[in-house]
Structure 1
Amino acid sequence: MLHNSPSPAASDTPQNSQDIALSLLDQGHNFLLGLLRPWNAYQVAIALGIFIIATILAWWLGPRFHEWIRNREGWPIWRKRVMLMVHRRLRLMIFVILTYVVVWALREITWPSRSYLLGGIGQLAFVWYIIATSTRLITNSFTRKMVRYVGWTWGTVSVLNMTDIMRSLLDSAAIQFGDTRISVWLLVQAAVTLAALLVSARLIAKTGADRLRRNEDLSPSVQVLAIKFIQVALYSTAFFLGLRSVGFDLTGLAVLSGAIGVGLGFGLQKVVSNLVSGIIILLDKSIKPGDVISLGDTFGWIEALGARYVSVVTRDGKEFLIPNEDLITGQVVNWSHSNDFVRLDLYFGTAYHDDPHTVREIAIKAALSVGRVLKDRKPVCHIVNFGNSSVDYILRFWIKDPRLGLTNIKGDVYLALWDAFSEHNISIPFPQTEVRLLPPEKVLSDK
């Protein structure tokens, strides 16, 4: 599954890990001896002095620079983020600038070779600064740290001109499986390549998703479906390109993935069912973000459509994660599927001595006095029953904002009815029981 990577030539690099280790020790010994030379020691002292000055300047400039960024009201968000990235590494940036200034001055005043060590320190600090700043674009903290540490390590090795030896050392640590040879160097290549491709795919997917969400010609369901398709396509392409770039044979992977897929299919039936149900929901547009739905005792609006579940937020702030399969197989009431109009019914009763014609007119005017009740769809009021103690009515009215709640609008209309009936002396009866106490002689006479 992995193509054999060419081993280093015998004349260029050591042939085994022991020779490489001895070479590294020898170079380290020579490096320490070089530091003991007077002018090299002076350069190390100069670098320490520059670091102290950079620390003091960063301590003094940091709060002022941060306050200056906060006061830039007209700046776009991306520019503020770039400035904040610079602020977080202010000391290292100042150290790099001062180091290059001192190196330029030394090369102009003294021999250029005398600033070689200080120039190397400045180059190393510059590489570290670029890696630390650019990795801030990676949102995942674990991935960001891994890429940062690997980048710092490889940048340090490159500045010290030890890449060939390090590559040979990593390539010498390998495991052989028949014709397949897996080395640490190959694994490092695969990890770095995959990380770079996945980060690039994520940035492209995020940019495409933002543009799709701003496209008003596409419905919310089509936007979600297109975003998920782009994400799956980009991540899959990045994964397979990363494996291919390090010599991974995808033919063997196809056979292996088929066998694994059959085994996982039995254990992940619910997960696959939810994934397929999510695609069906997006295709038939039965629900979309922003719709107000009822499912059992859950009433709320759809916050987001996920690959496995739908996020429904209720009026009391609870967020229910409903599996997609439940929305396909269960009975769902979509209050805003084709339109946002919702009709609500209220039941009430008045006394028999109140004129029904007057009661109906007062009830309709009371409903229209509530702000959320639609005026173009006029409320209606009908008698539905002659009860034991009251004439029963139904009041029907329309609203166009179910997301703002149903119970509260019903309460407002009931309160308007109460005020209107009180103003016009319309009584709302309630069941009453009359108990009469008969005198004892009356009871005996009846017997």
Structure 2
Amino acid sequence: MEGEYETILSGLEELWSMLWLNLRLLWLPNQLGQLATILSCVALAWLLDRQIGPKFEDWIRSLEGRPKWQLRWLIVLRNRMALAYFATLCWLASGAFSLIYTFPSRRYLLTLAATIATAWLFIRIAAQVVRNRSLRRLTVWGLTIYATIYYLGLVDEAAILLDDISIEFGDFKLSVLAILKAAIVTALLVIAARTASHTAARRIGANEDISPSMRVLTVKFLQITLYSAAFFIGLKAVGFDLTGLAVLSGAIGLGLGFGLQKVVSNLVSGVIILLDKSIKPGDVISLGDTFGWIEELGARYVSVVTRDGKEYLIPNEDLITGQVVNWSHTNQFVRIDLFFGTAYGDDPHLVRKIAIEAAHSVKRVLSSRPAVCHITGFGDSSVDYILRFWISDPVEGLTNVRGNVYLALWDAFKKHGISIPFPQREVTVLKGSELRTETIRPRPDTGS
């Protein structure tokens, strides 16, 4: 341990000596002039940003209606105008110094400041391709630090220092430098994998020759493959031994298998659903009291949107083990049954005919599959019927089409004088019986 501390201290001393040498050079008369010029460029860039910035913002607001990506990049440029002014002023000052001093060392600080500022500007603009805000901020800071160290000529000293800060496990050495390299390489590979998966997902989603369930399955498989490859290639690229990692991951997987049985079950159930094509995006299903259409098939759950706008996240396992009604599994045809009754005095032949005509008068009821009406029994107060008809758009709802057919039946029965009875009770007084009525008056209120 003492040897490691001594190595780290020696690296810090070497790095500090390089910095101190550069700081001592700043006190030379020519370097002080360049330093004063750099500070003047900072102040002038700030003033230019205060004067021009608001006018530039007003111009951006006047461009409403333009594509969002154009406005987005204009806003990005606005937020970095001060840095752009500073880099431009430093380059101009460096050019002016070159007319006075022929030796490049005489304008070293100005050129260095202009180069670093330009690198910072390009890093902040290029980092906008990273959509995740936290990852973009981490990328900006990481590249900014590296660019600064690179142009100061301290890359080798910083690498030696980071490599000296390490932990050893037998023959395996894990240093801060190795961790940084692994993080950078893995992050770049993950970004590349994400871009490739999104591009492939758009193209697969637009391919009508592939079924919806196979599109989802292909995209999920591609994402898992690309992200796994990015992770393991990133570790291998910096020298990690994947053999030990495989043994460790097997032990961890065995332990997690007992604690994450439900999660694994849902993942496997999701793969089964995609393979057997029993449920696909756009299908109309009923599961218990939930009726709606499939919005999205996830790795762990299925998103079902109901008619009232509620979105239910149903675990994949429930769709495998439970009884699910898929109204549009093989086709979109759905038969709906309505029950009603009429009075015994109405002609049942006429009632059946009127009921069928009323059903076909509703727009969503199919005429290609004729409706039928049958007597189901003789009730206590009415003759009972069942009316069956077909629709081909269950995604538009079932309750509303039932209501429309009931309303058509009401209008048709009223037009033809057919009555819909309600339960009635008859009281028969037997011969020889006596029927008396008695009025019971309430007692007066005594106030007690």
Q: After TM superposition, is the score higher than 0.5? A: yes
Match of 2:302 in 1: 310
Whether 1:41 aligns to 2:33 is no
Instruction: Calculate the aligned-residue CA RMSD, in Å.
Output: 2.8
Structure 1 range deviating more: 220-229 or 364-373:
364-373
**Residue-pair matches, total:** 429
| Aligned partner of 2:13 among 16, 19, 23 | 19
Matches within 5 A, 1:68-217: 68=63, 70-72=64-66, 75=67, 81-97=72-88, 99-100=90-91, 103-104=94-95, 107=98, 113=104, 115-217=107-209
Deviation (angstroms), 1:272:
1.5
Whether contact under 8 Å (2:213, 2:275) holds in the other structure is: yes
Structure 1 range deviating more: 25-34 or 206-215:
25-34
Match of 1:412 in 2: 404
Match of 2:388 in 1: 396
**Matches of 1:44 and 1:228 in 2, distance apart?**
54
Match of 2:442 in 1: none
After superposition, the Cα gap between the structure-2 partners of 1:344 and 1:232, relative to the gap in structure 1 and judged at 3 Å, is same
Deviation (angstroms), 1:40:
3.0
Q: TM-score, normalization: structure 2?
A: 0.87
Q: Per-residue CA shift, 1:379-434, capped at 9, x if unaligned?
A: 22222112111111111111111112111111111112112222222211111234
Letter in 2 for 1:40: L
Whether contact under 8 Å (2:365, 2:391) holds in the other structure is: yes
**Matches of 1:186 and 1:171 in 2, distance apart?**
7
SS in 2 for 1:442: coil
SS in 2 for 1:317: coil
Deviation (angstroms), 1:214:
0.6
**Matches of 2:279 and 2:354 in 1, distance apart?**
39
Q: TM-score, normalization: structure 1?
A: 0.87
After superposition, the Cα gap between the structure-2 partners of 1:101 and 1:32, relative to the gap in structure 1 and judged at 3 Å, is closer
Whether contact under 8 Å (2:360, 2:367) holds in the other structure is: yes
Matches within 5 A, 1:268-283: 268-283=260-275
Structure 1 range deviating more: 283-292 or 294-303:
294-303
Deviation (angstroms), 1:188:
1.1
Deviation (angstroms), 1:328:
1.1
**Matches of 2:51 and 2:12 in 1, distance apart?**
45
Structure 1 range deviating more: 150-159 or 115-124:
115-124
**Matches of 2:188 and 2:376 in 1, distance apart?**
70
Whether contact under 8 Å (1:47, 1:118) holds in the other structure is: no
After superposition, the Cα gap between the structure-2 partners of 1:179 and 1:164, relative to the gap in structure 1 and judged at 3 Å, is same
SS in 2 for 1:374: coil
**Matches of 1:234 and 1:257 in 2, distance apart?**
19
Whether 1:54 aligns to 2:49 is yes
**Matches of 1:63 and 1:28 in 2, distance apart?**
44
**Matches of 2:25 and 2:417 in 1, distance apart?**
103
Q: Per-residue CA shift, 1:18-74, capped at 9, x if unaligned?
A: 423432551463365369612431232134212321343222112312432x333xx
Whether 1:360 aligns to 2:355 is no
After superposition, the Cα gap between the structure-2 partners of 1:159 and 1:197, relative to the gap in structure 1 and judged at 3 Å, is same
Match of 2:335 in 1: 343
Deviation (angstroms), 1:104:
4.5
Larger relative contact order (CA 8 Å, sep ≥ 6) = 1
Structure 1 range deviating more: 409-418 or 233-242:
409-418
Whether 1:243 aligns to 2:235 is yes
After superposition, the Cα gap between the structure-2 partners of 1:24 and 1:404, relative to the gap in structure 1 and judged at 3 Å, is farther
**Matches of 2:85 and 2:293 in 1, distance apart?**
51
Structure 1 range deviating more: 390-399 or 219-228:
390-399
**Matches of 2:83 and 2:41 in 1, distance apart?**
16
SS in 2 for 1:260: helix
After superposition, the Cα gap between the structure-2 partners of 1:102 and 1:426, relative to the gap in structure 1 and judged at 3 Å, is farther
**Matches of 2:91 and 2:371 in 1, distance apart?**
79
After superposition, the Cα gap between the structure-2 partners of 1:24 and 1:116, relative to the gap in structure 1 and judged at 3 Å, is closer
Whether 1:255 aligns to 2:250 is no
Whether 1:65 aligns to 2:60 is yes
Letter in 1 for 2:144: W
Deviation (angstroms), 1:205:
0.6
**Matches of 1:100 and 1:430 in 2, distance apart?**
95
Match of 1:287 in 2: 279
After superposition, the Cα gap between the structure-2 partners of 1:29 and 1:110, relative to the gap in structure 1 and judged at 3 Å, is closer
Whether 1:431 aligns to 2:423 is yes
5+ residue gaps, structure 1, are: 1-6, 8-12
Match of 2:318 in 1: 326
Letter in 2 for 1:42: T
After superposition, the Cα gap between the structure-2 partners of 1:213 and 1:90, relative to the gap in structure 1 and judged at 3 Å, is farther
Whether contact under 8 Å (1:47, 1:99) holds in the other structure is: no
Match of 1:29 in 2: 23
Whether 1:370 aligns to 2:365 is no
Structure 1 range deviating more: 194-203 or 34-43:
34-43
